[in-house]
Amino acid sequence: MPPARPLAKPEIPIVTSFAELNLLPEEQLANLNELGYTAMTPVQEAALPAILAGQDVRAQAKTGSGKTAAFGLGLLQHVDAAQFVTQSLVLCPTRELADQVAKELRRLARYMPNIKVLTLCGGLPFSVQRDSLIHAPHIIVATPGRLLDHLNKETVNLDALKTLVLDEADRMLDMGFAEAIDQMIAHAPEARQTLLFSATWPKAIAAISARIQRSPLAIEIDSVDELPAVEQQFYEVARGRKITLLQQLLSKHQPASCVVFCNTKKDCQAVMDALTDSRQSVLALHGDMEQRDRDHTLVRFANGSCRVLVATDVAARGLDIKGLEMVINYELAWDPEVHVHRIGRTARAGEGGLAISLCAPEEAQRAAALEEMLHMKLSWQTLPAGTSVVPLEAEMATLCIDGGKKAKMRPGDILGALTGDLGLNGADIGKIDIHPIHAFVAIRAAVARQAWKQLQQGKIKGRAVKVRLLK
Ligand code: ADP
Ligand code: MG
């Protein structure tokens, strides 16, 4: 494992396994095993002992390095479930990231009885959140803007706060949250532990750290050391030929899941249109999309209803997309660091992946800079001329059902309706995601239309429901 620098201060023990952390309750170790967390990631190894000892920590580590569990396991140790006051607060830049963090915290807290984790983000009515806040949650995961609304209206109280976490701090600053963060800090007690996580470390982050942290332990995990698990291939190609090459590469590799990174929204759109035309299962993710469309896109990509996601860096940052088989850089990133973040997504927590980069001659300098930074010779490949383009079809399709958490819809209700009354085979039903007002069901594409028609006429929990087949 790559070394963390600088090393933890001497009074903090150096540990190399979760077992040595003596986490409570004892079942936590079994829980981590069940989650497949058998060894600590480098950032966890470097940060957890200090976090458990109550020290402030600021850590820079790339996306996918396990930062959530690093602060999550730490803050959970400091939460007293018997005290019904808010003891931990995690700030995230977007609702998606907040949802992901809350989900991970709940998984980590599975063996801790009655820990209430609440997310507070825009996009949901304030009044609904105010009602959930009548009984203070132990842990709040929030975006800065919405949290500040609650603090100003005194629906959230941070007087008993023990741990404050800023996750993806660089992105929060990019999104203009610096002031909201400063205002929020005024509501938090002085005696608290502050943890700051960021993928990059611009000056503005150092400044925030200086303002809100007390002699933090600084951790920097060298992302370059973690590269070998990703196989990188480079293709030289004229700009005007990139789309064809991309279509051919997708045809050749047939990835179950692939993210294509573009530097601009315009390229995103062009790639999306071309792949749609060649019937290669594709959706786009870019900054201009409405939250609802982003949610739908991510659900469909994660549940196998879409094989290729075309995205800009900003839109895709921080998203924990599981089991990505392949990443394609439609154009080299301007910054080698960004390149490393992109390709790191196919080798999450140690699993190998393939990263292909398409380079036009005018990107030669960027390729040279990359070669220097990675200390490796780029592996240039060619594809036989005339490699054919074949459709890439998704295995699943998604039904979107009106009625989610608020309507107390549960996966079992939907599964029951589909397999019981409608007689679908359980094997044809995939992931079921319950969102606040919608539920999403992945259905094997071949039977999706039939299931959709039947469900429109059928019932769930004794009630007729509105259903759409997303395409
Ligand atoms: P980051 O916030 O650094 O981008 P995440 O916290 O989202 O990374 O973790 C990335 C992935 O790694 C998640 O799917 C998470 O479940 C997994 N993960 C975290 N810690 C471990 C571990 N110790 N062993 C195996 N997988 C882990
Ligand atoms: Mg994260």
Lowest mean pLDDT among 65-69, 80-84, 225-229, 234-238: 225-229
Tokens standing for residue 128: 């609904």
How far is 308 from 280, CA to CA, in rounded Å?
A: 8
| Residue 404 CA, ligand 1 centroid: distance in Å | 27
Q: Please say if the pLDDT value at position 121 is more than 80.
A: yes
| Tens digit of each residue's pLDDT (9 = 90 or more) over 274-300 | 999 999 999 999 878 888 888 899 999
Going from the Cα of 65 to the center of ligand 1, the distance in angstroms, rounded, reads 6
Q: Is the CB of 66 under 6 A from ligand 1?
A: yes
Residue 191 CA to chain centroid, in angstroms? Answer: 31
pLDDT at 229 over 50: yes
Structural domains in the chain, CATH included, are 18-220 (3.40.50.300), 230-374 (3.40.50.300), 396-469 (3.30.70.330)
pLDDT at 413: 92
CB 72 within 8 A of CB 92: no
114 burial class (0-12, 13-18, 19+ CB within 10 angstroms)?
exposed
- Number of alpha carbons in the 13 Å side-chain half-sphere of residue 313: 22
pLDDT of residue 46: 94
- Residue of 15, 32, 320 with the most ligand 1 atoms within 8 Å of its CB, for mutation: 320
Q: How confident is the prediction for the chain on average, in pLDDT? A: 90
**Amino acid in the structure at residue 334:** W
| Three-state DSSP state, 170 | helix
Segment 81-109 shows an average pLDDT of 95
Question: Residue 13: its pLDDT value, please?
Answer: 65
Residue 145 CA from chain centroid, whole number: 20
The confidence score (pLDDT) of residue 65 equals: 85
Q: How high is the pLDDT of residue 348?
A: 55
| CA gap 148, 184 in Å, rounded | 6
Report pLDDT for 313: 85
Average pLDDT (198-223) is 89
Listed residue (284, 295, 236) closest to 260, CA to CA: 284
Among the bound ligands, name the one nearest to the CA of residue 65.
1
Q: How confident is the model at residue 8 (pLDDT cuts 50, 70, 90)?
A: very low
Q: Which residue has the higher pLDDT, 286 or 333?
A: 333
Q: Is the CB of 342 under 6 A from ligand 1?
A: no
Q: Is residue 40 in contact with ligand 1, taking CB distance under 6 Å?
A: yes
3-class SS at 385? coil
Indicate the helix (H) or strand (E) that contains 311: strand 308-312
Across 71-91, average pLDDT:
97
Q: Among residues of the chain, what percentage have pLDDT more than 90?
A: 68
Q: Name the residue with the closest Cα to ligand 1, atom 1.
A: 64
Whether 68 is in the pocket of ligand 1, judged by its Cβ within 6 Å, is yes
Query: Measured from the CA of 322, which atom of ligand 1 is nearest?
Result: 14
Question: Within its chain, how far is the Cα of 439 from the centroid?
Answer: 20
